[in-house]
Chains A and B, each alone.
Chain A
Amino acid sequence: MSPRTRQDAPPTPEQIAFVEEAMARYGRQTYNYAYRLVGNAPDAHDLTQEAYIRVFRAWQSFRPGTSFLSWIYRIVTNLHRDELRRRKGVFTQPLPDDNVRHERHAESPAHDPIRAYHDQQLSPSMELSLRQLTSDQRSVVILADVDEYSYQEIADIMGCSIGTVRSRLHRARAQLRKLLLRQRAEQTGGAQ
């Protein structure tokens, strides 16, 4: 976390209230987006924290009436891209996190051994494949497929055209399919 400097003027009550409300309403979604990008809890924690510090510093640049979530996703996307560049493409290894996991589906894996098995098998290979995409490809796949944003919304978040979103998504999906097929072939070959 970057320290506060003299350039950081003393916060106003409105500024603090803005950040508090943002964290209360969008903190969870922001953290989940960060987690999907980096694949582990410590880095997702740092990324989310830094994103809200950026919100604190630049809160007046948020335009009322626009989507806060798009804005914070854009901040996270840019931070992730910068950090990935700084680390030369490598985030820390995925770690088992101790957060409470809330399944999107009604059935709990504990009561559905087939689903639990499926999750355990699928997630690592999918995460591994996603790690091999570029930062922008990863973002676009998560935003389009997991968060189900429209191309226009993704373009706003990523600061690019709809055409770029479309081509990145197509390339990323083609790459993912190739990687998953290769992994499956390796697993099958290894099992035999």
Chain B
Amino acid sequence: MTCENYRALIADYVHHQLDAADDAAVYEHVGNCAACRAELDAQIQLTESLREAFGQDREFPSSIAAQVRQFMHAVPSPSAWDRLRSALRPAIVAPAAAVILVAAILGYDASHRPAPALSSEYFVREHIAQTIGSPSSDAAWSAYLLTSANASSGSDAAASPNG
């Protein structure tokens, strides 16, 4: 092997990733070759520098665990579909549909029901019912009957000559 071949193995040698035969070969070579020994020293220096720079061990922040716990126990936030589905759930939809149906039926019924026929007799009866307890009610009724009779007889009389 040439020095170039050995140098290609030096990083793996530093990381103890060579098989036994290659490891022994590199070990022997760097013992005899100053240039490859310098390369080995430079590679070792780089690894030591990396460990110095990044080897500091930091505490695990308790806030991470707290936030992960909060996430685990959180109530799931519903999706848009879930929100729509919950808005359409039977507990809300059924009563709403019933109200709409009843309103529609009543509306239809009201719009198609014939208007009550109001006769003059209806108003007279209403009037009598309201004044029935008053002392003059009998007189009023008599007067009415009299008036009606008169009117009736009057109309009859008026009609008679024609009849």
Query: Could you tell me which A residues sit within 8 Å of B by CB distance?
Result: 1, 3-6, 8, 11, 15-16, 19-20, 23, 27-28, 30-32, 35-36, 41, 45, 48-49, 52-53, 56, 97, 99-104, 118-119, 122-123, 126-127, 130, 141-142, 144-146, 150-151, 166, 169-170, 173, 176-177, 180
Contact = CB atoms under 8 A, between A and B. Distances in A.
B72 A177 contact: no
Given A11-B72, A177-B42, A123 B53 contact: yes
B122 interface: no
B121 interface: no
Given A118-B52, A150-B17, A53 B68 contact: yes
Q: Which 7 pairs between the two chains have the least Cβ-Cβ distance?
A: A126-B53, A27-B60, A28-B60, A145-B50, A102-B57, A104-B55, A4-B76
B156 to A, nearest CB: 87
A56 B72 contact: yes
B5 interface: no
B77 A103 contact: no
Interface string B53-81: 11111111101110111011111111100
B15 A31 contact: no
B150 interface: no
B36 interface: no
Contacts of A53: 68, 71
Contacts of A8: 76
A45 B61 contact: yes
B85 to A, nearest CB: 10
Interface in B33-52: 42-43, 46-47, 49-52
Contact of B59 (A1, A28, A103): A28
A48 B55 contact: no
Contacts of A3: 74, 77
Contacts of B75: 4
A144 B56 contact: no
Given A6-B82, A173-B11, A145 B60 contact: no
Contacts of A49: 64, 67-68
Contacts of A100: 58-59
